[in-house]
Structures are given as structure tokens and as C-alpha cells.
Structure 1
Amino acid sequence: MKDDIVLQDMKDIYGRNIEWDQFRDKTVLVTGPNGMLASYVMYLLIFLNEEKHFNIHVIAMARSAERFVARFGECGNARYITLVTDPIHGPIHIDGEVDYIIHAASLASPQYYDVCPVDVLSPNVIGTYYLLRLAAKKKAKGFLMFSTGDVYGALRGVEYVTEKDMGIVDPLDIHSCYSESKRMAETMCRSFMHQFGVPVRMLRIWHTYAPTMDIDKDPRVFASFMKNIVNGQDIEIKSDGTGKRTFCYAADAIAGLFTVLTKGKDGEAYNVCNTDQFVSVRQLAEMLAALRQDVEIKVAWKQRPADEHYTENTAIGAIAPSNEKLKGLGWEPKYSILEGFRRVLEYQMQR
């Protein structure tokens, strides 16, 4: 791993108040390792092995070996990494022990909801089921599932979205393929804990961003804005810009992930978000435009094409999530929007 933004983030995460020794000489299985956040999980496990000599056996379950090699380069060929390209929508066979499972495989981008909803829900429902069966068989010490703030649905009458709140999701809305399948995944996790004693914990992840995000293919607003900034183009907003989001930098999110895995309570879900960084889309655009000092970037409005795939979650758009439950485990976010996206810009400009 080169001495760049990612390595700096790994050092930052390792310096947090987390009981890292739990992972020494253990086997950790990660699904969806090519994804934005899951890749940071992989980089952290690589860091623990290369820099701290933890002797972790990493099993990476990825659909594409080519993408895995492109993402991790020489690090992906390390002797302690086993790459498995078998699908997770059937029985999973892994030789030897599996101590921890981090299930991150998912098609989380709204661009897929209208196009291939079955592909969206499959890893969340079928994949979660077979991974939980594997965890039960292997008597895993921990099972962590990447869930989403979308599970809350449409909420009214609350100041902050806590883990005890739950709104309405229409199961017949095609966009619900993601949120409803994540709800089912959480129910399965709790059921496997109740019936088979699997030590499950769930992360309800809100808007997060990382230096390694794919700004060319990710249609979410923050990725699109960053693409404009990197290319020195004006930022285009395809809404009225009033919808609000929380934005959490990857280093904070991954620190939260490992905090839950090491200190969380079995069967519980935790919001992973930076409540203090709750801004409108327009505010975000203006803040990011100011990051480039060498070119003038303006914020403009443009009508959204009728055929453009887009979904709006009312809970995310109107009410800030609470991170008090995660803070109760000793976690604290460190990065503001400006600090985090400045790191993203520096990384992207070096590509």
C-alpha cells in the first residue's frame, strides 16, 4: 500500500479506540470487497497484516477477479488473501475456520433499482441467508451486515432518526427492492441469532464517501459533484437543492464498523452517520465548488431527464439521523465535509 491518502486513513483508523487484538490470527470473510466502503475494510485488514503483523487470513468473496486485481494490485495477491469468486446466492463452502463475516455485497446505487431489481435484492436476501448459515456452521465470533438508512422509510414527527424509529415503505414500489430487502436481511440476522446463536450486528449506513469512490459511474450527487470538480466543470443540480443529507467520511465510517464489531451488542442495529454534517444538496455543491482554487466552478440548475434513474428517500431527505447509539460505544466522527472531500479531491486529482 502506497504512502498516500488511503494509507493515512488506515493509520487514522488504527489509532482509534478499538480493540484490534481481537482480530489477531483470525480469519475474516468479506463479501463485496470491490465496493467503496468494503474496499476500505480490505485496506484496513491489509494494513493490520503488513504494518502490524496481525496474521489475519482474509477471504475476499468478489464477483469479479479482474476488478479485484484492478482495485488492490499487488496487495490483492498477498499470501494471506484468498479470493473466492463463487456467487453467494447458493450454499457457500469455505474450508477451515471463519471467525468473522463482514457482509457488504450489495447493489446500493439507485441507478439499478428500476433496471435490475432482482439483482438488487438477491445479495441482501438470498446472500444474507446463506452467509448466516455459514456463520452458524462455523460458529463465527461475529457477523456484521451492511444495512442502510433506507430501512426507515418515510418518517414524520421525529426530530432525529434513531434506531427505534420506523416509517412506511411501500413493498409494491419498485424502488423498495433495496430498502425492503435490507429490512428482510436485518430480520434474518435477528432470527439466526435467536434460533442458532449467531452473533449478528447491523450497520445502518447513511451517505458515506471515500477517496476511492468511482466518480465516473456512481450517479449519487456527491460523486457527480466530485466528477465535475475534478474535471473543472460547473456543478449541475438536477433538483431544487433543498433536500438534506448527512455525509460521513470513509475513515469515520470504517472506524464505526469495527467499533460495532468489537463493542456492539448482538442483535442490534447502529446508525453509521455524521449527524453534525447535515447539509442541503445546494450547500454541499457550494462547499465542494470552493475546494478548487485554481479554476472557477459555478453551481447551476438543470432539469433532470425523464428517463434518468433516480430515487428520493424521504427519511434521508428531510430528517437527520442520530448517531448517539454508536457514540455510546466510544466512537466519534473526526472529519467535516470540507476536510473529508478535500482528501477525496487530492486522491482523485492524482489518478
Structure 2
Amino acid sequence: MNLLYRSALERVVDSIDVNGKAFLITGASGLIGSCLIDLLMIANEKGKTNHVYALGRSAKKLESRFTNYLSSNTFHVIEQDICFPISDNLHFDYIVHAASNADPINYAKYPAETITTNMLGTINVLEYTRHNPGCVAEFLSTFEVYGNTGKDDYEESDVGILNFNEIRACYPESKRAAETLVRCYVKEYGLDVKIGRLSSIYGPTMAADDSKAHAQFMRNALEGKDIVLKSKGLQRRTYCYVLDAVTGILAVLFHGEKGEAYNISNEKSIVSIAELAQIIAEKCGRKVVYALPSELEMNGFSKPQNCILENSKLKALGWHANYNIFEGVNECLSILEEIANN
């Protein structure tokens, strides 16, 4: 494991405040899932005895990503598509449901699969939780569920308009429906399931082919290329470094109210897309250039203009951010640069 990344994990390891429990992480090889597993396993190295189950469609991919943990008796790989039921023969105390198609290009290429994964995966997590009393789960949603509210700042109670006539709605509409499923199961069966609404998350665990704008910016800059901005970049977003995101997710999992949604966001990381591009460019000694997007890229663009997630509800659980946008970007780029050079 990269030493800078390990050091960052060790600084927040106290967010794992349970012991002797079993965690299931779906979407284990993704941006959020992989960082969460790393944090749980670092906590085990520091004396915790939690069992960590990494669920994903490819055992080979999981074993490659988590090579350092394969010899540990507290780490377990589950090769499974989340669209199929989770075995009741396995016991989990906590589930973080992070499995989702979260890549804009793939929303455009595979809209049907995007919807079915979000819906069936959530149903299977909820059904497991229903049949295993005492299990606590968290569904990871997205800021995109808000749609167009007519304002820039979004609180958890806000409701906006989504254009379901567009194929791009496959992602936010299925996340909306999955949130409703969570609330229905909580109401009807009394389950302890919470919702974490993610802001724009970035970090060194991003996939190499992640097509989100901030991921492309970082790749270009680290490869010695200029940063290509395919819009004016005036939209303001709440960004959140992955180390802050996973501690926020855990705060919701351990301390959130069942059936409630919490914005996972950082008030110290609100910038426009163009400003973020400039921050990355300056860090890497590059410049920002403008280009027209392809039709496929345009089909994957999110629609909200400004999207600033209010996070007082999350902070009321005792959570706080450890990074501002400059600190998060600098650490992320430093880790990725070290990984590329080793």
C-alpha cells in the first residue's frame, strides 16, 4: 500500500468505533468501497477484530486490488453480482451498499443495466436485512436525486424536477426509487437502514477509466497534459475527498436514524468545475484548455447547474471534515503520482 495513502487512513482510523463485527461492502472495488475496506483493515491492524467481506463481480479483480489482505483471516472475498440475492448463510452486522454504475459514460452506454443494478441490488440488500434481524445497512445514493430545485443549496428535505424523458435519468431516477424502497422497507418491516447522499467524491481510489470531469482532470495533469474542460465549467459543486466521505458514511451507519437521508458533503470544498480544473492545473504545472464534448460525453453529463449540499444534519452526528479542497486535491495528486512512479 502506498505510504502516503496509508498515513491518511491511519489519521482517521478512530472512525471505526465498533469491534468484533462483520461488515459487508458491496461495490468493493469501487472508489468508495475500496477505501472503506482499506480503512476497516487498517483498523484491524491497530487491534480491531472486525471481519470484512468484499463483494464484487470479479474475484480476480478483488484479489488483485486487496492483495495485502488475502492472508488475513478477517478478510473475505465474495464473487457475486449484487443483482442476485445475498446468501442468508452468511452473517453480517453492517452492510454498506456501494455497488452501482457510477460512471457517466456508462450511463449513456448501459442505461438499462444502470437502472437494474441500482434497483435489484438495493432490493437484495434490503431482503437480506429483513431476514437477518439486527443487521444495520446504509444505501449510498447521490446528489443527483435532487434534480432541479430552483435553488443552489440542497437540504435533505428538498425535492426537485428530473426530466425522466431523457435516457440520462436512468441514474438519478433509479437512485430515487431505491431511496423510496429503503423507506418502504423501514416503514413496513422496521429495518435499520440509512441513506447517505454522496456529493462529488474524488480520491486516489478512483478507477483508471473514470469518466467524471475531476477524474479526467487529474489523469491529464499527472500525465503531463493540459486539462481539457468540455464546458464553461461555471457549475458550482460540493466536492468531498474520499477519506472524508468514508468517515461520513460510517458516521451515518453507526449513528444515523433509520430511514433518514444524510448529505455526505464538505462545506470546505465548494468550487466551480473550472476552479477545480485550475487548482489541479496549478498543482501540476499545467494549464486549462477548452474543447467540445463528444455526443456520448454530452449524454452522460449531469443536469443540475449549481449543487451545494448542506451538511448540518451529518455534522449533528459528530462528523467533521479533515480536508479542504486544496488539501484533498494535493494529497490525492501526491498519492497518485507516487503510485504512477513506483
- The TM tier, using the shorter chain, reads over 0.9
> Percent same amino acid among aligned pairs?
33
Instruction: Give the conservation status (yes or no) of the 8 Å contact 1:68–1:76.
Output: no
Task: Please list, as runs of the form range in 1=range in 2, the aligned pairs for 1:9-24 lying within 5 A after superposition.
Answer: 9-15=8-14, 18=15, 20-22=16-18, 24=19
Q: What is the alpha-carbon distance in structure 1 between the residues aligned to residue 9 and residue 143 of structure 2?
A: 25
Aligned residue for 1:85?
79
Contact residue 23 and residue 95 of structure 2 kept, 8 A = yes
1:96–1:302: structure 2 CA closer, same or farther, 3 Å change rule?
closer
The one-letter amino acid paired with 2:292 is Q
- Is contact 2:152–2:306 with CA below 8 Å preserved after alignment? no
Distance 2:337 2:68 in 1: 22
Look up the match of 1:273.
265
Question: Secondary structure at the residue paired with 1:58?
Answer: strand
- Residue 140 of structure 1 corresponds to 134
Aligned residue for 1:43?
Answer: 38
Aligned pair count? 339
Deviation at 1:96, TM superposition (A): 4.1
2:194 aligns to what SS in structure 1?
strand
Q: Within 2, Cα distance between the matches of 1:3 and 1:89? A: 33
User: 1:237 pairs with 213, 229, 233, which one?
Assistant: 229
Is the counterpart of residue 221 in structure 1 residue 209 in structure 2? no
The code of the aligned residue for 1:313 comes to: S
Query: Separation in 1 of the partners of 2:229 and 2:58?
Result: 33
Q: How does 1:42-81 map to 2 (within 5 A)?
A: 42-52=37-47, 54-81=48-75
Deviations along 1:93-122, one digit per CA (max 9) or x if unpaired, are 142422111100000111111211121112
In the alignment, the residues of structure 2 paired with residue 219 and residue 314 of structure 1 have an alpha-carbon distance, to the nearest angstrom, of: 16
8 Å contact 1:31–1:60 — kept in the other structure?
Answer: yes
Structure 1 residue runs of 4 or more that deviate by more than 6 Å after TM superposition: none
Aligned: 1:193 with 2:186: yes
**Deviation of residue 138 (structure 1)?**
1.2
Secondary structure in 1 matching 2:196: strand
Q: Secondary structure at the match of 1:83?
A: strand
User: Unaligned regions of 5+ residues in structure 1, if any?
Assistant: none
Distance 1:77 1:180, change over 3 A: farther
The CA RMSD measured in Å over matched residues stands at 1.6
Residue 93 of structure 2 corresponds to residue 99 of structure 1:
yes
Q: Is the 8 A contact 1:271 1:321 kept in 2?
A: yes
Q: Return the alpha-carbon distance in structure 2 between the equivalents of residues 73 and 96 of structure 1.
A: 23
Contact 1:155/1:168 (<8 A) preserved: yes
- 1:303 pairs, out of 276, 282, 292, with 292
1:342 to 330, 333, 342: 330
Letter in 2 for 1:300: V
Is 1:290 the counterpart of 2:290? The answer is: no
Alpha-carbon separation, structure 2, partners of 1:211 and 1:177: 27
TM-score w.r.t. structure 1 length? 0.92
Q: 1:166 maps to what in 2?
A: 159
Deviation of 1:248 (Å) = 0.6
Question: In structure 2, the residue corresponding to 1:329 is in which secondary structure?
Answer: coil
Query: Within 2, Cα distance between the matches of 1:207 and 1:348?
Result: 18
Instruction: Determine helix, strand or coil for the equivalent of 1:247.
Output: strand
In 2, Cα distance between the equivalents of 1:332 and 1:304?
37
Secondary structure at 2:38 match in 1: helix
TM-aligned CA distance change 1:5 to 1:195, over 3 Å: same
Secondary structure of residue in 2 paired with 1:308: helix
Query: Structure 1 residues 140 and 31 mapped into 2: Cα distance closer, same or farther (>3 Å)?
Result: farther
How many Å apart are 1:309 and its aligned residue? 4.9
